[in-house]
């Protein structure tokens, strides 16, 4: 009887141990599965974050995505404070959600930025704060600080997930800061180059009219001259002053081009009046050339900015005069076809080097090379004024010497 009872107790004990062991193993397996599932979810979260922020290309969008994902995966409200372009935190840019930081909080954030260490609630540094502050540390520099409103401290696993999360955000910020800095550096170099070209152009182009004015003035002051000779010098002075006025006007136009202030004011225009204005302005310069103007009698009135297109034609004819020998023929052709006004100016002057033809209208100034044509501010003005009309301007060397410029402008025409 006693033996049977002992045997039953032993059997029951083994069964209980077996059940306990199975329970422990099941619990461990479930815990392990939970850990694996959490790791997978966090890995997926990091992947989604990386995918989301990789598709945006400005600081505001990165910040918006970061704040949304912090709320989504950590259920935390956050504030992101970024350094400024000069790498200073004092003049920071703050992106807020549902809470604002006090001056004291900002001073804690500044400490975190300077020391690349977390501070605030649940840390050993300034733990009395309501928020926890984390540095956004890139590979080479700090980008800023993120402040979160913790309700409980992170577990070890959550802390690791959070660090990886911040690393992704910091890396993206760093890449955007570097990209912006590179872009600004490029723009600065191009701006410096542009203004150097402008001042080189001014220096060279001013020398010609100034030399004429000075030379003619000195002759008149030093020696008594017959009336005809005086008239000649006065004419040179007048011509030099006209050139200076033209250069000043070009600089005025260039200032509008560079600041994007070109605005067209179209009106119904007679193309023949356009030609007459330009030839009258350049009357004295054209006296030593054969001018040929081809224009259909029935060419319609067109809806353009008369002043801007007058400047385009003026610069094309002026360029032909300056680069063509006296006695040569300068041709101008005008015609309208299928919604497009075409203006063609041809000469038998110097050619343009083929290597420079493609960038002719992009350069403000190029020095004269060998026996090739010299260009100046006028070509940039031509391009800008034509493009303001949604038109195009092209140039090509002519078969037997000289250059042909073609302007095409889409226009409305008058039915009258």
Q: What is the pLDDT of residues 90-127, one digit of tens each?
A: 545 555 556 678 888 888 888 988 888 988 888 888 88
Q: Please report the DSSP string for 12-32 in residue order.
A: HHHHHHHHHHHHHHHHHHHHH
CA atoms 15, 16, 19, 21: torsion sign: negative
**Main-chain dihedrals φ then ψ at residue 359, nearest 5 degrees:** -105, 15
Closest CA to 330 of 322, 338, 342, 340: 322
Q: What is the pLDDT of residue 218?
A: 67
Task: Report residue 41 as tokens.
Answer: 């979810």
**Main-chain dihedrals φ then ψ at residue 268, nearest 5 degrees:** -75, 125
Give 60's pLDDT tier (boundaries 50, 70, 90).
confident
Q: Please report the DSSP string for 105-119 in residue order.
A: HHHHHHHHHHHT--E
The answer on pLDDT for 22 being more than 50 is yes
- CATH topology for the 189-258 domain: Helix Hairpins (1.10.287)
Of the ranges 104-113, 231-240, 252-261, 356-365, which one carries the lowest mean pLDDT score?
Answer: 252-261
Distance CA 112, CA 227 (A): 85
Taking a C-beta distance cutoff of 8 angstroms, is the pair 323, 349 a contact? yes
Q: What is the pLDDT of residues 343-352, one digit of tens each?
A: 999 999 888 8
Closest CA to 387 of 407, 357, 370: 407
Quote the percentage of the chain above a pLDDT of 70.
Answer: 59
Distance of CA 244 to the CA centre of its chain: 33
Question: DSSP letter at 155?
Answer: P
- CATH topology for the 41-183 domain: Beta-Lactamase (3.30.450)
Computed on alpha carbons and rounded to an integer, the radius of gyration of the chain in Å comes to 39
Q: What is the pLDDT of residues 280-335, one digit of tens each?
A: 888 888 999 999 999 998 899 999 988 889 888 988 998 899 888 889 999 999 99
- CATH topology for the 267-410 domain: Heat Shock Protein 90 (3.30.565)
The answer on pLDDT for 340 being more than 90 is yes
Q: What is the pLDDT of residue 271?
A: 93
Residue with tokens 């009135």: 301
Q: What is the pLDDT of residue 367?
A: 40
Euclidean distance between the first and the last CA atom of the chain, given in angstroms as a whole number: 130
Q: Tell which wins on pLDDT, 360 or 189.
A: 360
Question: DSSP letter at 89?
Answer: S
Q: Tell which wins on pLDDT, 224 or 163.
A: 163
Identify the bridge partners of residue 181 per DSSP, sorted by sequence position.
none
Going from N- to C-terminal start, the domains of the chain cover: 41-183, 189-258, 267-410
Mean pLDDT of 156-169: 78
Taking a C-beta distance cutoff of 8 angstroms, is the pair 377, 297 a contact? no
């Amino acid at each position: 009887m006693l033996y049977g009872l002992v045997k039953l107790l032993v059997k029951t004990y083994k069964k209980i141990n077996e059940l306990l062991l199975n329970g422990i193993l099941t619990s461990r397996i479930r815990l392990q599965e939970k850990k694996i599932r959490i790791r997978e979810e966090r890995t997926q979260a990091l992947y989604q974050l990386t995918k989301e922020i990789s598709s945006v290309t400005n600081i505001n969008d990165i910040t918006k995505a970061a704040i949304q994902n912090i709320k989504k995966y950590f259920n935390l409200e956050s504030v992101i404070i970024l350094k400024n372009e000069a790498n200073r935190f004092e003049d920071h840019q703050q992106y807020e959600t549902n809470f604002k930081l006090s001056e004291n909080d900002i001073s804690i954030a500044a400490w975190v930025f300077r020391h690349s260490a977390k501070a605030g609630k649940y840390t050993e540094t300034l733990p009395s704060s309501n928020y926890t502050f984390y540095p956004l540390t890139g590979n080479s520099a700090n980008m800023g600080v993120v402040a979160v409103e913790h309700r409980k401290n992170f577990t070890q696993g959550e802390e690791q997930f959070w660090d990886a999360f911040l690393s992704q955000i910091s890396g993206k910020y760093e890449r955007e800061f570097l990209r912006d800095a590179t872009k600004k550096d490029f723009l600065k170099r191009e701006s410096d180059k542009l203004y150097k070209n402008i001042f080189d152009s001014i220096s060279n182009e001013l020398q010609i009219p100034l030399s004429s004015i000075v030379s003619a003035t000195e002759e008149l002051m030093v020696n008594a001259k017959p009336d005809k000779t005086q008239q000649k010098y006065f004419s040179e002075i007048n011509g030099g002053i006209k050139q200076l006025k033209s250069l000043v006007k070009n600089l005025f136009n260039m200032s509008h081009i560079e600041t994007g202030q070109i605005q067209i004011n179209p009106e119904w225009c007679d193309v023949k009046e356009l030609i007459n204005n330009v030839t009258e302005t350049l009357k004295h310069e054209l006296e030593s050339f054969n001018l040929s103007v081809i224009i259909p009698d029935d060419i319609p009135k067109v809806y353009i900015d008369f002043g801007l297109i007058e400047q385009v034609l003026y610069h094309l004819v002026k360029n032909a005069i300056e680069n063509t020998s006296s006695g040569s023929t300068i041709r101008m052709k005008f015609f309208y076809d299928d919604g497009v006004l075409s203006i063609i100016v041809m000469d038998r002057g110097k050619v343009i080097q083929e290597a420079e033809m493609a960038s002719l209208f992009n350069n403000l100034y190029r020095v004269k090379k060998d026996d090739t044509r010299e260009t100046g501010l006028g070509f940039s003005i031509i391009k800008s004024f034509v493009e303001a009309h949604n038109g195009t301007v092209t140039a090509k060397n002519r078969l037997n010497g000289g250059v042909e410029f073609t302007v095409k402008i889409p226009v409305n025409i008058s039915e009258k």
